[in-house]
Amino acid sequence: MLELRDVRVVFDGFAALDGVDLTVPEGELRFLIGPNGAGKTTLIDVITGLTRPASGTVRFEGRDLAGHKEHQIVRLGVGRTFQTSVVFEELTVLENLDLAASFRRPLWSLARRRKGVSDAVAEALERTGLQELAERSAGVLSHGQRQWLEIGMLLAQRPRLLLLDEPVAGMARDERERTGELLTRIADDHTVIVVEHDMEFLRRHASAVTVLHEGRVLVEGAVEQVSADPRVQEVYLGRRTDAVGK
Ligand SMILES: Nc1ncnc2c1ncn2[C@@H]1O[C@H](COP(=O)(O)OP(=O)(O)OP(=O)(O)O)[C@@H](O)[C@H]1O
Ligand SMILES: [Mg+2]
């Protein structure tokens, strides 16, 4: 589904990504972890066309994404969230979803007055459990509900690959738990890449994990194997003893 080969991203002579290879098969829920500045967001930026790699290739469903603009990549079926919110606070939950869905619609259909709620929007509401809040203004949502709305806005665009940048950051424990379950359900019929720092969350919800460190893939594999890896412990804790997060 997604294949990066030898991807290098350079900012002012500094290699934020330094020869990254990454293969994500269809239907996987892949976690991407690594310390601050490891290059996680840059990796998402490269896949979604926000940042151009200096060298290397990004292929999505066999298609080389080089030269594709951000909006074209969205149309090809790749959706992302940002580390900062893109929700319109003065619009309702439903209006935000509808607006997000409209990115996939041709212009002429936007100009026509539409009746009711589109299938994509109804599905996104249901998936994220936000039906009850559909008519509330997004500005009054809790932090967790707002994150679910952002995920819903992505789903409304009907992507096949979703890239989520720290969706549980700042969430309370029960909200994290609900988000973990939501991600697992979404991965039933999507490919999902989730950036997350929290090892506890990972242990509960991840299957496959890729660890980035200083712009390179440090370790990749099953969550138990990765969290027990001395190199990962070194990067996170600066020491070689004890399991990560304990
Ligand atoms: N537009 C930019 N211009 C210059 N340097 C950048 C730019 N974007 C990222 N960087 C640098 O590239 C490196 C990787 O940044 P990136 O945001 O990808 O890290 P990250 O793993 O997402 O970190 P965090 O956990 O803090 O979100 C950092 O050293 C960062 O300062
Ligand atoms: Mg980041």
Kindly report, residue by residue over 51-109, the tens digit of the pLDDT: 999 999 999 999 999 989 998 999 899 999 876 778 999 999 999 999 888 876 555 55
CB 43 within 8 A of CB 165: no
Ligand 1: residue whose CA is nearest its atom 16? 39
Tokens 């200096």 found at:
54
Q: Which of 9, 11, 32, 236 to mutate to test the pocket of ligand 1 (most atoms within 8 A of CB)?
A: 11
What was the pLDDT predicted at 89?
93
pTM: 0.89
- Ligand 2 centroid–CA 40 distance in Å is 5
The two beta strands, 55-60 and 2-11, are: antiparallel
- Ligand 2 centroid–CA 37 distance in Å is 7
pLDDT at 112 over 80: no
CB 206 within 8 A of CB 223: yes
Distance, C-alpha 151 to centroid of its chain: 9
What was the pLDDT predicted at 107?
56
**Other C-beta atoms lying within 10 Å of the C-beta of residue 228:** 13
Q: Which atom of ligand 1 is nearest to the CA of 212?
A: 21
Ligand 1: residue whose CA is nearest its atom 29? 37
User: Angle 173-186/143-155 helices, nearest 10 degrees?
Assistant: 10
CB 155 within 8 A of CB 96: no
Q: Is the CB of 42 under 6 A from ligand 1?
A: yes
pLDDT at 241 over 50: no
Dihedral sign, Cα of residue 76, residue 78, residue 79, residue 83: negative
pLDDT tens sequence across 142-183: 999 999 999 999 999 899 999 999 999 889 889 999 999 999
CATH 3.40.50.300 residue spans of the chain: 1-77+159-246
Q: Which CATH class is domain 1-77+159-246?
A: alpha beta
Distance, C-alpha 36 to centroid of its chain: 17
What was the pLDDT predicted at 146?
93
Q: Which atom of ligand 1 is nearest to the CA of 197?
A: 25
Closest CA to 66 of 5, 154, 157, 1: 5
The average confidence (pLDDT) of the chain is 89
